[in-house]
Structure 1
């Protein structure tokens, strides 16, 4: 299955075009390093949470928007090889000097897909999620997520990916574990649902939430109070 390098960052709203240009300029390099798909999504419906949320995950300041983005690789080996090239390439070091956001608060990590369903088609909107899951409940979570993925696709989603934390480093200011207040023995899941448009997503999500098949079979295999979610509009997909 696909290996994912997932990112969440806080970008000043005034720097949106500069951010798109920065990402677009970097895309050819990442593709040359082995990235098979690069996606950048701009925060559109990113709610405040009572326990956790995307803004808190990256310590977003007033006037900043959350960006949810990812790289896709055919394998972890391909991702590791790409990271070696990225770290060694002087062009990447030069680009890092002009980033239109605070890179110190960006969170990143490597994730192994455990659910991946796709019917193809261009993405016009995405729902992004970060979920803390006990390591001992990995299979229970995978089974629940696979069932939900089928319903998402039934109601219009074109792709669903659930990726299990594999290489998720601790950060000095922000990181995935702090974002979801992960406890000892918990891993972080990075996941998203792709829709052809926001209108299809709004209609589809309403039907998903009303469908009795979404009710869990027994106890939920994670603490939903600490799950982070939001809606995002794609600004780059190559």
Structure 2
């Protein structure tokens, strides 16, 4: 069964091209380690609307939902990117990040890119905080 890793990153809006170049380099590395698909989704609007969520039997009151920018800690100068990395299985997703980190540490492809003023958030990273 396919497994997805989700990362949420605030990116300076005027650095989108720089971020996309960085993301393409990182996608190559993750594909080399088994990822089957990497997709970046850019925030289209400033906040979430309760009308955007359609879970049966669930409703939200005005102001209850935060927008992605707020959740990611983005400033007014930043957009939010949600990256979904797909893996063939949960086991491959858990094992694979151990391999790319060694590649990332030595690869000029993963050189730090100044596309954001904030820090990345992902469910996996937040467990250790």
Q: TM-score, normalised by structure 1?
A: 0.41
Aligned-partner Cα distance in 1 for 2:31–2:39: 11
Aligned-partner Cα distance in 1 for 2:7–2:108: 17
Matching residue within 39, 64, 81 for 1:189: 81
Aligned-partner Cα distance in 2 for 1:184–1:207: 36
Where in structure 2 are the equivalents of 1:99-178 lying within 5 Å?
A: 123=2, 125-170=3-48, 172-173=63-64, 174-178=66-70
Aligned-partner Cα distance in 2 for 1:214–1:127: 24
- Note if contact 1:132-1:182 (Cα within 8 Å) is conserved in structure 2: yes
Gaps of 5+ in 1: 1-121, 232-238
Higher strand share: 1
Radius of gyration: which is bigger?
A: 1
Change (3 A) 1:175 1:228: same
- Note if contact 2:42-2:79 (Cα within 8 Å) is conserved in structure 1: yes
Is 1:228 aligned to 2:86, yes or no? no
- Note if contact 1:144-1:216 (Cα within 8 Å) is conserved in structure 2: yes
Where in structure 2 are the equivalents of 1:8-87 lying within 5 Å?
A: none
Q: CA RMSD in A?
A: 2.0
- Note if contact 1:148-1:214 (Cα within 8 Å) is conserved in structure 2: no
Task: Report which structure shows greater RCO (CA 8 Å, sep ≥6).
Answer: 2
Gaps of 5+ in 2: 50-62, 125-129
Measure how far apart 1:128 and its partner are. Answer: 0.5
